[in-house]
Structure 1
Amino acid sequence: MSLPTDGLRQVALPFTIFTLIWGSTWIVIKDQLGVVPAPWSVTYRFVIAAAGMALVAKWKGESLKPTPGFLGAAAIVGLSQFCFNFNGVYAAEHHITSGLVATVFALLMLPNALLGWWWLGQRPNARFLLATLVAVGGIGLLFLHELRERPDLTLTALMIGVGWTVFALLAAAVSNVYQAREEVKRFPLFSLLAWAMAIGAVADGIIAYALHGAPTVEWRWGYLAGLLWLALAASVVCFSLYYPVVRRIGPGKAAYSSAMVPIVAMALSTLFEGFRWTSLSLAGAGVALLGLVLALWSRQRPMKVTNPDAG
């Protein structure tokens, strides 16, 4: 059945909040890159976020004690979302602008939809796939703009940045769809996220130590404030809101936020990274957003409503 009015309200407000916050994170991540190796920044982020999410779980009355099968599910979510996904995003922003990373990441709805078809039986229609191809064409124009406007950017660096972004969004899609499976939804959500973030943080730390040695910290206020924003607002608050929406309306529709995030991200990139708009970049952004909106409309079909608080 379709979402009732009260169900729509339960989706619309959190949807708006996590979309606006996540739109700001791309530029904040850019500022995290420099003195501290990216994997250590990711590690710090999810050490803090895991503690914050554990407090949310206790506030919600959820037990943090693992039950049979719980840690396996938390490990899959933690490694895919809070390790592979975020290390991929941070690595991508070493090479290309934050707004462009956000725009490529807007294609998350495609792997979400395809994995949702495979794992959840939520089949996308042909119009959705065609509209997504339109969005890909627009993003291709943005790539061309990036190469033309940044003489320091080589095709190799661009492809590396895009490659890391695609790796990240595929990892995120695995987590999004996996946690919406019925056998995973039986676990308390916030406790699952707390453990997933903790497991992700451990994996992040192992990667960071293997690649960069002992941890380092930048005691600059901007770095520390950004770290707290990413850990508490963008991780604890946003994932506390996002995953209940995924469980309620499905991973394909929940990823519609990715169509709005690039607008915020590109605006911030213009202000703080010197992104310069040209006829080519305007055309690319317009075509990409048109494709994403068409993809959104094409998937507006009645669907079963699930209870995000179910067992």
Structure 2
Amino acid sequence: MIRPGLSRIVLPFAAVTLIWGTTWYVIKTQLGVVPPEWSVAYRFMGASFIMFAACALMRRPLRFPLAAHGFFMLLGVFQFAGNFNFVYQASQTVTSGLIAVVFALLVIPNALFARLFLKQPVSARFVVGAALGIAGVALLFERELGADGWSGPIAAGLGLTLVGVMFASVANVMQGTARARSYDMFGMLAWSMLYGALVDIAYAWAMRGPPVIAWTPLYLGGIFYLAAIASALAFVLYFNVIRLVGPAWAAYSGVFIPFIAMTISTLLEGYRWSPLAVAGAALAVVGLVIALRARRVPAGAAAAGGTTGRS
């Protein structure tokens, strides 16, 4: 078998990392006038439309058996509804960079769920790396939680982010199955995003009432970026990287994304680094690298350690 050209791996990997590294701050521009629930709904309404249009242009299959639609619906509920609604809620109180760091820990529940449902082993090395990663994140939040208290909005935002991570992890395990790989990637994403968007609309209407939108260039530009670039394009690129090199290697984007997000948060959100925060960031990265190296699996093997929940 001819090994894929380096550019087929490096360029999509770099693009996904850059896109998802900036996404966390763009989400902040969606908050304010428009309820976060409706912002999520608009994002995936747009993303699903783009994916269906892409399937039509490329003549990708869109007809699937009824059982496949049940799978797509569950994937949409976990990945494009539950996950993102919790993240958008958390973004109201937690800086974008810190949310990105917490999401980098996604590999931990991924591995635990993979052990439970896919019977994949968890090594002692992975446990050590996971523990270091959790300790690093705790240090990053030490100042915010110390000033705010565990009952304040920062703690609530952290809790919402962790719930979002769990939703994303369930979706990742689903994407790591042989069943998911048997479906055309474009068609699967189109239907999953549509089902997720329908759930988002129902949830937004129930929680916030009729649709609200801000007709400003900043808001509408953010919706376009999140729907077209961060959702439709980025998920296609990332899934393709997984199919070329395997999910474990692809998961290294989760190590680099927080650096981009934290840099943006420092420049644009006024995040201030303390010595403990610096130590926490370093510890989290070391832990994640150790954990990811322990989760290495062959390309094409069923593994849940590499798909992100990204945003």
TM-score, with length taken from structure 2: 0.90
Q: 2:254 aligns with which of 245, 253, 258?
A: 258
RMSD: 2.1
How far, CA to CA, are the matches of 2:6 and 2:295 in structure 1?
16
Matched ranges for 1:217-236 at <5 A: 217-236=213-232
How far, CA to CA, are the matches of 1:234 and 1:212 in structure 2?
25
State the match for 1:13 in structure 2: 11
Q: Secondary structure at the match of 1:285?
A: helix
On the 8 A contact 1:62/1:188 being kept in 2, the answer is: yes
How far did 1:113 drift? 1.9
State the match for 1:40 in structure 2: 38
Matched, 1:204 2:203: no
Which amino acid counterpart does residue 13 of structure 1 have in structure 2?
L
Structure 2 alignment gaps of length 5 or more: 303-311
Q: Secondary structure at the match of 1:138?
A: helix
Against the structure 1 CA distance between its residues 101 and 237, is the aligned structure 2 distance closer, same or farther, given a 3 Å change threshold? Answer: same
On the 8 A contact 2:4/2:244 being kept in 1, the answer is: no
Matched, 1:172 2:168: yes
How far, CA to CA, are the matches of 1:183 and 1:230 in structure 2?
28
State the match for 2:308 in structure 1: none
Which amino acid counterpart does residue 77 of structure 1 have in structure 2?
L
How far, CA to CA, are the matches of 2:134 and 2:37 in structure 1?
29
On the 8 A contact 2:133/2:285 being kept in 1, the answer is: yes
Q: Secondary structure at the match of 2:263?
A: helix
Greater displacement, 32-41 / 65-74: 65-74
Matched, 1:114 2:109: no
State the match for 2:306 in structure 1: none
State the match for 2:278 in structure 1: 282
Against the structure 1 CA distance between its residues 275 and 216, is the aligned structure 2 distance closer, same or farther, given a 3 Å change threshold? Answer: same
Matched ranges for 1:1-311 at <5 A: 5-6=3-4, 9-148=7-146, 153-156=148-151, 157-300=153-296, 303-305=298-300
On the 8 A contact 2:242/2:250 being kept in 1, the answer is: yes
On the 8 A contact 1:86/1:168 being kept in 2, the answer is: yes
How far did 1:69 drift? 1.3
On the 8 A contact 2:242/2:299 being kept in 1, the answer is: no
Q: Secondary structure at the match of 1:164?
A: helix
TM-score, with length taken from structure 1: 0.90
Against the structure 1 CA distance between its residues 95 and 83, is the aligned structure 2 distance closer, same or farther, given a 3 Å change threshold? Answer: same
On the 8 A contact 1:40/1:215 being kept in 2, the answer is: yes
Name the % identity: 42
How many residues in Structure 1 have an aligned counterpart in Structure 2? Answer: 301
